[in-house]
Amino acid sequence: MYNGELLLERLQMRQRVEAERRERIFNDKVRTIGIDKEALDMQVIEKKKREEAAEKDEQAYHAEMLHNSRVLNLLHRKQQKEKRTMEKALVAYQHQCQLPWSQRERGLKCDDGQMMLPGLAGEDPYFRVRQQKQKAQLKQWLIEQQTDQSIQRRQQKLKDWLHDQNRIEMDNKALELQSAEVQTRNAVAVATKEHNLAMMAEKKHRSHLDGLTEAASTRVGVPGLRSERIATPERLQEMILFQKHQMKEKWRMEMEKKQENEHHDRVRLDSARTALLMERQQARQSKELRCNLDRTNVKIAQEQREQRPDIRRGRIDESFFTQFNTCSR
């Protein structure tokens, strides 16, 4: 009997396991996903519950904030209403009990006739002192601005003056170079003209001598002609000497022209070198003037900083205020 029940129980267990196995195998979702779907469903349900709880908490928080805002708004309105009521009561009291003609103490009256006790809100016992300090500070700032502007104007004037001086010197150099070039061209033109005239005269004289020599060599004795027209050997020797002298003069003129051209070239090179040296000297002088101006400005600024009190840090002595209001005006 006992064995039969045990076999029956084992058979039922095997059937249950087989049924679960078939359900897992023949279920498309479980077979495709490959995980426990029931656990996933439980996680989804728990997530929805958490989201609903968070949404409820947020709604409760917003409701509480809205309630607090309404309460604060009501309190603010109540305070404003009480403040207006107190102001109206104060104004009514001043009109009823503090009339200008019923006041006996002059020191408690304001300039416009309204009553105001000392120490009340709106009264500043150090107003005049603070106003004087503010005026003094504004005056000091104005002096500093004027000093800075004057320094800038001086620097700009110095720059303009240096620029004008440099431009004038460059113009003078250009004029000098132009005049030297014009003189050189004129001298070259004169020398060329003289050389051409000398060449023309020499050519004319040479052609004349050649004609005389040819006539003397081909002349035939004719009765009645004078003997002076016949070229003698002495005359020919003089002509040869004259030609040699002309050749020497020509060579001398060419050498003088060459020396003159070399002299003009040297003059141009010296002028260019002098202009370059003057330009460098001008740049050096401008740099020195700029350095001197910077040192002077730094010295002036240092002196002004030493003389100026430190208003921002409160380092002001009594001598600072004695320089103002020194006259009756």
Give the rounded percent of residues in the chain with a pLDDT score beyond 70. Answer: 74
Nearest-5° angle of CA 218, CA 223, CA 225? 70
Looking at residue 295, what is its pLDDT? Answer: 85
| Distance in angstroms (rounded) separating the CA atoms of residues 110 and 123 | 10
φ/ψ of 310, rounded to 5, equals: -85, 90
Residue 226 has pLDDT above 70, yes or no: no
Give how far Cα 58 sits from Cα of 51, 53, 130, Å. Answer: 10, 9, 54
DSSP string covering 282-306, please? HHHHHHHHHHHHHHHHHHHHHHHHH
SS (H, E, C) 200-220: HHHHHHHHHHHHHHHHHHHCC
What is the band of 32 on the pLDDT scale with cuts at 50, 70, 90? Answer: low
How does pLDDT run across 80-104, given as a tens digit for each residue? Answer: 999 999 998 888 887 777 655 554 4
Farthest CA pair distance, the chain: 201
Helical ranges in 27-108 per DSSP H: 28-33, 37-97
pLDDT given for residue 225 in this prediction: 40
Helix (H, G, I), strand (E, B) or coil at 115: strand
Higher-pLDDT residue of 58 and 326 is 58
